[in-house]
Amino acid sequence: MIGRVLLAVLFVVAGALHFVFMPAYLRIMPPFLPAPRLLVEASGVLEILGGVGLLVPFSRRAAAWGLVALLVAVVPANLQMAIDHARWAAIPEWALWARVPMQGLLIWWAWLYTRK
Protein backbone atom coordinates (compact mmCIF):
# COMPACT_ATOMS: atom_id res chain seq x y z
CA MET A 1 0.00 0.00 0.00
CA ILE A 2 2.78 2.45 0.85
CA GLY A 3 4.42 1.83 -2.53
CA ARG A 4 1.17 2.49 -4.36
CA VAL A 5 0.58 5.74 -2.46
CA LEU A 6 4.15 6.88 -3.14
CA LEU A 7 3.75 6.10 -6.83
CA ALA A 8 0.44 7.96 -6.89
CA VAL A 9 1.99 11.04 -5.27
CA LEU A 10 4.95 10.87 -7.66
CA PHE A 11 2.63 10.93 -10.67
CA VAL A 12 0.35 13.66 -9.36
CA VAL A 13 3.36 15.86 -8.63
CA ALA A 14 5.08 14.97 -11.91
CA GLY A 15 1.90 15.73 -13.83
CA ALA A 16 1.50 19.10 -12.13
CA LEU A 17 5.11 19.94 -12.99
CA HIS A 18 4.21 19.69 -16.69
CA PHE A 19 2.23 22.88 -16.22
CA VAL A 20 4.59 24.63 -13.79
CA PHE A 21 7.68 24.05 -15.96
CA MET A 22 6.04 23.85 -19.39
CA PRO A 23 9.03 25.37 -21.29
CA ALA A 24 11.37 22.66 -19.96
CA TYR A 25 8.97 19.90 -20.98
CA LEU A 26 8.57 21.44 -24.42
CA ARG A 27 12.36 21.42 -24.88
CA ILE A 28 12.57 17.64 -24.43
CA MET A 29 9.91 16.85 -27.01
CA PRO A 30 11.35 15.03 -30.02
CA PRO A 31 11.08 17.26 -33.11
CA PHE A 32 9.25 14.58 -35.12
CA LEU A 33 6.21 14.68 -32.80
CA PRO A 34 3.37 17.03 -33.74
CA ALA A 35 1.69 19.49 -31.36
CA PRO A 36 4.31 19.41 -28.59
CA ARG A 37 2.35 21.67 -26.24
CA LEU A 38 -0.75 19.52 -26.55
CA LEU A 39 1.31 16.39 -25.89
CA VAL A 40 2.93 17.93 -22.80
CA GLU A 41 -0.44 19.06 -21.48
CA ALA A 42 -2.07 15.70 -22.22
CA SER A 43 0.73 13.75 -20.58
CA GLY A 44 0.54 16.00 -17.51
CA VAL A 45 -3.21 15.48 -17.19
CA LEU A 46 -2.83 11.73 -17.73
CA GLU A 47 -0.13 11.51 -15.06
CA ILE A 48 -2.37 13.31 -12.58
CA LEU A 49 -5.38 11.14 -13.45
CA GLY A 50 -3.27 7.99 -13.28
CA GLY A 51 -1.88 8.94 -9.89
CA VAL A 52 -5.32 9.68 -8.49
CA GLY A 53 -6.67 6.52 -10.12
CA LEU A 54 -4.13 4.41 -8.24
CA LEU A 55 -5.75 5.55 -5.01
CA VAL A 56 -9.31 4.62 -6.00
CA PRO A 57 -10.03 0.88 -5.67
CA PHE A 58 -12.35 0.52 -8.68
CA SER A 59 -9.95 2.33 -11.03
CA ARG A 60 -6.64 1.07 -9.66
CA ARG A 61 -5.88 -1.57 -12.30
CA ALA A 62 -7.00 0.59 -15.23
CA ALA A 63 -4.96 3.52 -13.90
CA ALA A 64 -1.90 1.31 -13.51
CA TRP A 65 -2.24 0.04 -17.10
CA GLY A 66 -2.69 3.62 -18.28
CA LEU A 67 0.47 4.68 -16.48
CA VAL A 68 2.40 1.76 -17.97
CA ALA A 69 1.27 2.83 -21.45
CA LEU A 70 2.09 6.48 -20.74
CA LEU A 71 5.54 5.61 -19.43
CA VAL A 72 6.27 3.64 -22.60
CA ALA A 73 4.94 6.52 -24.72
CA VAL A 74 7.27 9.10 -23.14
CA VAL A 75 10.46 7.08 -23.64
CA PRO A 76 11.24 9.07 -26.83
CA ALA A 77 11.23 12.31 -24.80
CA ASN A 78 13.68 10.83 -22.29
CA LEU A 79 15.91 9.66 -25.12
CA GLN A 80 15.66 13.06 -26.81
CA MET A 81 16.76 14.77 -23.60
CA ALA A 82 19.80 12.48 -23.30
CA ILE A 83 20.74 12.76 -26.98
CA ASP A 84 20.35 16.54 -26.88
CA HIS A 85 22.36 16.81 -23.66
CA ALA A 86 24.07 20.05 -24.71
CA ARG A 87 20.75 21.86 -24.14
CA TRP A 88 20.80 20.64 -20.54
CA ALA A 89 24.33 21.66 -19.56
CA ALA A 90 23.37 22.10 -15.89
CA ILE A 91 22.52 18.39 -15.66
CA PRO A 92 25.37 15.85 -15.91
CA GLU A 93 25.13 13.80 -19.09
CA TRP A 94 25.21 10.54 -17.11
CA ALA A 95 22.09 11.68 -15.22
CA LEU A 96 20.25 12.32 -18.47
CA TRP A 97 21.10 8.83 -19.70
CA ALA A 98 20.20 7.33 -16.30
CA ARG A 99 16.61 8.49 -16.87
CA VAL A 100 16.21 5.92 -19.64
CA PRO A 101 16.65 2.76 -17.53
CA MET A 102 14.85 4.48 -14.65
CA GLN A 103 11.86 4.62 -16.98
CA GLY A 104 11.95 0.83 -17.03
CA LEU A 105 11.85 0.75 -13.23
CA LEU A 106 8.85 3.08 -13.20
CA ILE A 107 7.10 0.87 -15.76
CA TRP A 108 7.72 -2.15 -13.55
CA TRP A 109 6.51 -0.27 -10.46
CA ALA A 110 3.27 0.77 -12.17
CA TRP A 111 2.84 -2.74 -13.60
CA LEU A 112 2.82 -4.16 -10.08
CA TYR A 113 -0.59 -2.56 -9.56
CA THR A 114 -2.11 -4.01 -12.73
CA ARG A 115 -2.48 -7.36 -10.96
CA LYS A 116 -5.34 -8.31 -8.69
Burial-class residue 25 by CB neighbours within 10 Å (0-12, 13-18, 19+).
buried
pLDDT of 116 reads 78
- Res 60: pLDDT: 96
Per-residue model confidence (pLDDT) at position 46? 98
> Does residue 88 register a pLDDT over 90?
no
Number of domains in the chain: 1
Q: Is the pTM of this model over 0.75?
A: yes
Q: What is the pLDDT of residues 54-79, one digit of tens each?
A: 999 999 999 999 999 999 999 999 99
Structural domain of residue 22, as residue ranges? Answer: 2-114
Q: Distance between CA atoms of 110 and 87, rounded to whole angstroms? A: 30
Residues written for the chain: 116
Averaged pLDDT for residues 37-52: 98
